[in-house]
């Protein structure tokens, strides 16, 4: 299956911001940022990237697919960990260059490869003029 023409190119500013056609603005690298959050709690679980194929598979299957930049391959979230993300809603930002997935997570409910529920488990604190990370 060819994904090169799956999503139409962005139209005018008005069409992009107010229209009803999904035309994601994939970057020069072919990716769009994707924020994933728990559909019930609103907790941000992770940020990943999608290419056209990942977005198409997500829309087709109702489960989250991403593009792994580190591995250079399509990634079905939960295929090996059991942490499959069932997509309950997809939103696109105003200029269609970022996506928001609201999901229900299977398995142990985690999303981070470190074994934590969320990839955002550290906060930045400023002390004596220096920034440091603290596990929350």
Q: List, for residues 98-112, the tens digit of each pLDDT value.
A: 999 999 999 998 899
CATH code, domain with 59: 3.10.20.810
The annotation status of 93 as a binding-site residue, yes or no, is yes
Residue 55 lies in a domain: yes
pTM of the model: 0.89
- What is the DSSP track for 82-120? S--EEEEEEEE-TTSSEEEEEEEE-TTS--STTS-S-S-
Report the distance separating Cα 10 and Cα 16, nearest Å: 6
Q: Which domain holds residue 71?
A: 13-110
Q: According to the model, what pLDDT value does residue 96 have?
A: 96
Dump pLDDT digits (tens) for 113-128. 888 999 999 999 999 9
Residue 7 lies in a domain: no
Is there a domain that residue 2 lies in? Answer: no
pLDDT of residue 4: 52
Number of domains in the chain: 1
| Tokens at 96, concatenated | 């269609």
Q: Is the pLDDT of residue 2 over 90?
A: no
> Residue 56: inside a domain, yes or no?
yes
**Has 136 been labeled as part of a binding site?**
no
Q: Does 98 map to a domain?
A: yes
Asked if 118 and 47 count as a contact pair (C-beta separation under 8 A), the reply is no
95 is in an annotated binding site: yes
Q: How far is CA 47 from CA 12, 24, 28, 66, 103, in A?
A: 28, 17, 19, 10, 13
Domain membership of residue 67 (yes or no) is yes
* pLDDT tens string 48-80: 999 999 999 999 999 999 999 999 999 999 999
Is 97 marked within a binding site? yes
| Residue 38 annotated in ligand binding | no
Token code pair at residue 9: 């190119």
Cβ-contact 106, 78 below 8 angstroms: yes
**Residue 34 known to bind ligand:** no
As a whole number of angstroms, the distance between CA 14 and CA 23 comes to 13
Helix (H) or strand (E) holding 57, with range, is helix 52-61
Whether 96 is covered by a domain: the verdict is: yes
């Amino acid at each position: 299956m060819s994904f090169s023409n799956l999503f139409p190119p962005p139209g005018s500013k008005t069409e992009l911001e107010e229209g009803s056609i999904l035309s994601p603005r994939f970057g020069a690298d072919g990716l769009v940022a994707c924020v994933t959050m728990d559909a019930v709690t609103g907790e941000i679980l992770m940020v990943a990237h999608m290419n056209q194929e990942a977005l198409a598979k997500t829309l087709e299957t109702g489960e989250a697919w991403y593009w792994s930049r580190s591995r250079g391959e399509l990634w079905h979230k939960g295929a090996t960990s059991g942490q499959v993300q069932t997509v309950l809603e997809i939103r696109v930002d105003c200029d269609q260059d970022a996506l928001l997935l609201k999901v229900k997570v299977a398995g142990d409910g985690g999303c981070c490869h470190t074994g934590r529920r969320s990839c955002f488990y550290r906060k930045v604190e400023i002390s004596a003029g220096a920034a440091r990370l603290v596990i929350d």
